[in-house]
């Protein structure tokens, strides 16, 4: 990006996220419609008045509100950072944005209880859940209550025309099946794998991921095992895929850490591919030994700490300075989700639920800290994935898909 384009981008950026004049198919000259922006700081919101503050409720567990060992801080910290920055710049519609976080387990009746607590807060919009199973359980009620929701899950059934989707529900992530297909294709096309062992949690996330991977792998699909989302002993599944020349493991942060360590202990020294959880700081901490990560790959939504856009690297540095750990894609997406909501509320000069819903439905191109572009495609606002790997303990980008 040239100095002139940087200045133009900075001048255009009034929202932290900016909707541009071009869509994916636009042939406009890049100098007339820059596709990226370089936010040096968050500028003040548009000057208009709302009757009451915007209240965002995050149905997302984190270590401050949950005893779940799978709960990580990334998601809510990303939202907190965005809200703090907007509030420091003057708030939205004459008020500070408010945030409430609610412990939301991935399965069971507790999900419905969490939604009841969220609805009782009278939210402007809901962020989360981050579990596909939890999100699937609440979408019908969300539509009945007419609450805009931006979740961080990936189930294809959550598409607007899917069996559990509707016009009130949007994903900040790409589809699970598409990410798994990218992961599988990378193993065969880029690494030359011919026998890929398949591991997964036995929830919809894992099942869908493996199904899509098998379709992409064809004859290269090998031995297969599944296990509970909170499993800690992965010895038998690793033994089952011991003859593979690569492994695809669609698990949770905790099961992935356990399986990677177990694979190393059993001498399974082959490329090991996981989903977005591979990029979490908690996954690396769970493994505990950087040397074990040498063959570990992950198909994530983005890698903020290794992004060619200078302003994303700057943001990642600010995040780490504030929270003490490197941000994963999830922190960037929750940060972006808050700014997407700010954008549509400003555009409508209203926090009316229908105005927010319609604004999200009409988004075509926006630039944030994760996706290069945010565009609604049947309820999914991102259609991008990045394959990364660990090098000397750092998770770095290898190849980007989509965008």
> What's the pLDDT tens digit per position in 326-363?
999 999 999 999 999 999 999 999 999 999 999 999 99
Separation in Å, CA 401 to CA 151, 185, 384: 22, 11, 6
Neighbours of 291 (CB within 10 A): 10
Q: State the pLDDT at residue 267.
A: 96
The model's pLDDT over 8-67, given as tens digits with 9 standing for 90+, comes to 233 323 334 433 323 323 333 333 333 333 344 788 999 999 999 999 999 999 999 998
Q: Is 277 exposed, middle or buried (0-12, 13-18, 19+ CB in 10 A)?
A: buried
Q: State the pLDDT at residue 367.
A: 74
**Long-range CB contacts (within 8 A, 24+) of 314-320:** 315/39, 315/369, 316/369, 318/81, 319/77, 319/78, 319/81
Q: How confident is the model at residue 366 (pLDDT cuts 50, 70, 90)?
A: low
Query: What is the spatial order of strands in the sheet that 296-300 belongs to?
Result: 221-227, 196-201, 246-250, 272-274, 296-300, 385-391, 394-401
As a 3-state breakdown, the chain gives helix, strand, coil percent values, each rounded to 5, of 40, 15, 45
Q: How confident is the model at residue 268 (pLDDT cuts 50, 70, 90)?
A: very high
91-95, 123-127, 276-280, 316-320: least confident range: 276-280
Query: What is the spatial order of strands in the sheet that 55-58 belongs to?
Result: 98-101, 55-58, 125-127, 149-151, 169-171
Classify 170 as helix, strand or coil: strand
Q: How confident is the model over 212-240, as a mean pLDDT?
A: 96
Q: How confident is the model over 175-192, as a mean pLDDT?
A: 97
Question: Is omega for the bond preceding 129 within 30 degrees of 0, making it cis?
Answer: yes
Ramachandran quadrant class, 138 (left: phi over 0; alpha: psi -120 to 50; beta: rest)? alpha
Q: Is 324 exposed, middle or buried (0-12, 13-18, 19+ CB in 10 A)?
A: exposed
Q: State the pLDDT at residue 42.
A: 85
- The answer to whether 125 and 83 are in contact (CB under 8 A) is no
Q: State the pLDDT at residue 26.
A: 34
Q: State the pLDDT at residue 69.
A: 78
Picking from 306, 258, 261, the residue whose alpha carbon sits closest to that of residue 279 is 306
- For residues 8 and 129, what is the distance between their CA atoms, to the nearest angstrom? 36
Q: State the pLDDT at residue 403.
A: 66
DSSP code of 44? P
Q: Can you name the residues that pair with 137 across neighbouring β-strands?
A: none
- For residues 45 and 17, what is the distance between their CA atoms, to the nearest angstrom? 11
- The answer to whether 273 and 246 are in contact (CB under 8 A) is yes
pLDDT of 260 above 50: yes
pLDDT of 264 above 90: yes
- For residues 348 and 218, what is the distance between their CA atoms, to the nearest angstrom? 48
Q: How confident is the model over 242-270, as a mean pLDDT?
A: 96
Report the chain's mean pLDDT, rounded to a whole number.
89
Classify 274 as helix, strand or coil: strand
The model's pLDDT over 132-153, given as tens digits with 9 standing for 90+, comes to 889 999 999 999 999 999 999 9
Q: Which two tokens stand for residue 23?
A: 């869509």
- The answer to whether 111 and 365 are in contact (CB under 8 A) is no
Q: Is 104 exposed, middle or buried (0-12, 13-18, 19+ CB in 10 A)?
A: buried
CA dihedral 208, 360, 89, 36 (to 10 degrees): 80
78-82, 236-240, 265-269, 324-328: least confident range: 324-328
- The answer to whether 175 and 153 are in contact (CB under 8 A) is no
Q: State the pLDDT at residue 17.
A: 43
């Amino acid at each position: 990006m040239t100095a002139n384009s940087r200045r133009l981008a900075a001048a255009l950026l009034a929202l932290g996220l900016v909707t541009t004049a071009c869509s994916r198919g636009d042939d406009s000259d890049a100098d007339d419609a820059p596709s990226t922006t370089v936010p040096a700081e968050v500028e003040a919101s548009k000057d208009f008045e709302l009757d009451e503050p915007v209240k965002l409720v995050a149905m997302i567990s984190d270590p401050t509100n949950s005893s779940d060992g799978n709960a990580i801080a990334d998601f809510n910290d990303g939202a907190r950072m965005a809200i703090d920055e907007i509030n420091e710049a003057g708030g939205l519609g004459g008020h500070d944005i408010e945030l409430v976080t609610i412990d939301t387990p991935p399965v069971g009746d507790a999900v419905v209880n969490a939604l009841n607590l969220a609805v009782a807060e009278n939210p402007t919009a809901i962020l989360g859940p981050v579990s596909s199973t939890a999100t699937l359980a609440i979408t019908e009620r969300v539509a009945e209550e007419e609450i805009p929701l931006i979740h961080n899950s990936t189930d294809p059934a959550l598409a607007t025309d899917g069996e559990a989707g509707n016009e009130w529900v949007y994903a900040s992530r790409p589809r699970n099946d598409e990410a798994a297909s990218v992961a599988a294709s990378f193993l065969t096309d880029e690494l030359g794998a011919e026998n890929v062992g398949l591991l997964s949690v036995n929830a919809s996330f894992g099942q869908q991921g493996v199904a899509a991977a098998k379709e992409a792998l064809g004859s290269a699909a090998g031995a297969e095992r599944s296990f509970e989302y909170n499993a800690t002993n992965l010895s038998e599944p690793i033994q089952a895929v011991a003859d593979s020349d690569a492994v695809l493991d669609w698990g949770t942060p905790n099961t992935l850490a356990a399986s990677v360590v177990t694979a190393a202990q059993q001498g399974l020294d082959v490329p090991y591919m996981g989903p977005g959880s591979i990029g979490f700081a908690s996954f690396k901490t769970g493994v505990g030994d950087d040397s074990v990560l040498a063959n570990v790959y992950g198909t994530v939504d983005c890698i903020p700490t290794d992004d060619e856009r200078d302003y994303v690297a700057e943001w990642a540095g600010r995040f780490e300075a504030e929270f003490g750990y490197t941000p994963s894609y999830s922190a960037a997406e929750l940060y972006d989700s808050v700014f997407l909501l700010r954008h549509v509320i400003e555009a409508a000069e209203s926090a009316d639920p229908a105005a927010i819903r319609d604004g999200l439905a009409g988004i075509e191109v926006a630039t944030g800290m994760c996706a290069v572009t945010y565009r609604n495609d049947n309820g999914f606002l991102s259609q991008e994935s990045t394959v990364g790997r660990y090098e000397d303990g750092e998770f770095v980008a290898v190849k980007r898909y989509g965008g």
